[in-house]
């Protein structure tokens, strides 16, 4: 008889529910599919990096508002940002 024991590095026993704009959710899903990643894995990686930066005393890296980051990353005004707005 052979018994396989699967060990997980971390038990996932908590959830987060967030509300976002439909266009942002759609763009995020497309990006995840393009990289062959699950949305939950991408969000988990972001959360881990965010916590690591915060604990390392670099929390100011995330002080800029999300809307400002999206606008500054967008090309000239004819481009559409992640929320589907121009």
Number of domains in the chain: 1
pLDDT at 80: 45
pLDDT at 78: 42
Give pLDDT tens digits for 18-72: 999 999 999 999 999 999 999 999 999 999 999 999 888 765 555 555 555 545 5
% of the chain residues with pLDDT over 90: 43
Confidence of residue 81 (pLDDT cuts 50, 70, 90): low
Q: How far apart are CA 27 and CA 32, in angstroms?
A: 9
Q: Which domain holds residue 35?
A: 22-65
Is position 86 within any domain?
A: no
Is position 8 within any domain?
A: no
**Contact between 59 and 53 (Cβ < 8 Å):** yes
Is position 71 within any domain?
A: no
Q: Give the number of other CB atoms < 10 A from CB of residue 4.
A: 4
pTM: 0.54
């Amino acid at each position: 008889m052979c018994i396989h024991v699967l060990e997980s590095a971390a038990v996932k026993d908590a959830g987060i529910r967030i509300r976002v704009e439909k266009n942002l959710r759609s763009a995020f899903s497309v990006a995840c599919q393009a990289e062959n990643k699950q949305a939950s894995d991408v969000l988990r990686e972001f959360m881990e990096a965010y916590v690591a930066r915060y604990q390392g005393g670099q929390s100011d890296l995330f002080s800029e508002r999300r809307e400002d980051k999206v606008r500054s990353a967008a090309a000239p005004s004819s481009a559409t940002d992640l929320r589907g707005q121009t």
